[in-house]
Copies of this chain bind each other. A is one copy, B any other.
Amino acid sequence: MSGGDGNARSVEREGEEGMWSGDELHDLITIKLTRRRSVSPATLRKLSEAFNPLALIPARDDLIVQGVKASSCLLLLNGFAARYRLLRNGRRQFTEICLPGDFVNLGSLLKKRQRQGVVALTDCRAASIPHARLDRLIDADGDLVRSLWLDTLVDGAVSREWILALGAQSAKERLAWFLCELYCRLELVGRAKDCCFQLPMTQAEIADILGLSTVHVNRVVAELRREGLVEWKGALVHLKDWGGLAALAEFDKAYLESPPE
């Protein structure tokens, strides 16, 4: 994910701020927007050229600050981030996990003020596109609006699966669900394959995703390991028994994919 191994969260920071390969961004956007719907190459090019140079956000910084009015949308190129909210009782709950290729705050285009902050879980690289520019591109191409709107719809489907997990599944099932979903989403953007992926999160963070205590996450991880469902060493996760995990979680990746049309 982020830079080297060793410390999974840190990334070397040469003076390359502002330098980036436009191709990388273009490719990611293409994967993202054309996986489920077609968008013309011309629009994709115009879109990817409309982004500002990339920014580096160190782990634990906020990419989006709660309650602040946005004037541009942020696309995550690299790293993990998470939308969250803090409660009076001191608990933190994540409500959305952002992966490379995700628009961190696409909604801000229409809903300027975001109620929840988004924190970088690892060092992140992100590029922003001003609302005004995006708005113009949208007006010019009906396929683009639809593709972006569809992206919002898929986010909603992800949220509903999350509600399902939190409301009706046991700790073990939730963890299995989480691993399955993350793997599928990472694979979709080429960040995972062969049932292996980097998961640069602490167990405390996973607890804040699954609505569990850190201690219990640890116990459930141990259980999945013991049963041979996963191998998990540092940040590297290997889903040894995909079928078993998916069955346990009643996971079906259809909701992440393109309509079968």
Q: Are A156 and B159 in contact (CB under 8 A)?
A: yes
Q: Indicate if A152 sits at the interface (CB-CB under 8 A).
A: yes
Q: Which chain B residues lie closer than 8 Å to A164 at the CB level?
A: 85, 87, 93, 95
| In the bound complex, CA of A222 to CA of B227 (Å) | 42
Q: Are A163 and B110 in contact (CB under 8 A)?
A: no
* CB nearest to A209 among chain B residues: B167
| In the bound complex, CA of A166 to CA of B87 (Å) | 13
Q: Are B259 and A146 in contact (CB under 8 A)?
A: no
Q: Indicate if A260 sits at the interface (CB-CB under 8 A).
A: yes
Q: Are A37 and B149 in contact (CB under 8 A)?
A: no
CB interface residues, A 211-243, toward B, < 8 Å: 211
| In the bound complex, CA of A65 to CA of B169 (Å) | 23
Q: Are B169 and A87 in contact (CB under 8 A)?
A: yes
Q: Which chain B residues lie closer than 8 Å to A145 at the CB level?
A: 145, 149
| In the bound complex, CA of A115 to CA of B250 (Å) | 13
Q: Which chain B residues lie closer than 8 Å to A153 at the CB level?
A: 107, 110-111, 152
* CB nearest to A89 among chain B residues: B168
Q: Are A152 and B152 in contact (CB under 8 A)?
A: yes
| In the bound complex, CA of A116 to CA of B261 (Å) | 17
Q: Indicate if A83 sits at the interface (CB-CB under 8 A).
A: yes
Chain A 16-52, CB-CB to B under 8 Å as 1, else 0, gives: 0000000000000000000001000000000000000
Q: Are B250 and A112 in contact (CB under 8 A)?
A: no
* CB nearest to A142 among chain B residues: B139
| In the bound complex, CA of A148 to CA of B209 (Å) | 29
Q: Indicate if A187 sits at the interface (CB-CB under 8 A).
A: no
Q: Are B113 and A157 in contact (CB under 8 A)?
A: no
Q: Which chain B residues lie closer than 8 Å to A113 at the CB level?
A: 254, 259-260
Q: Indicate if A210 sits at the interface (CB-CB under 8 A).
A: yes
Cβ of A130 to closest chain B Cβ, rounded Å: 16
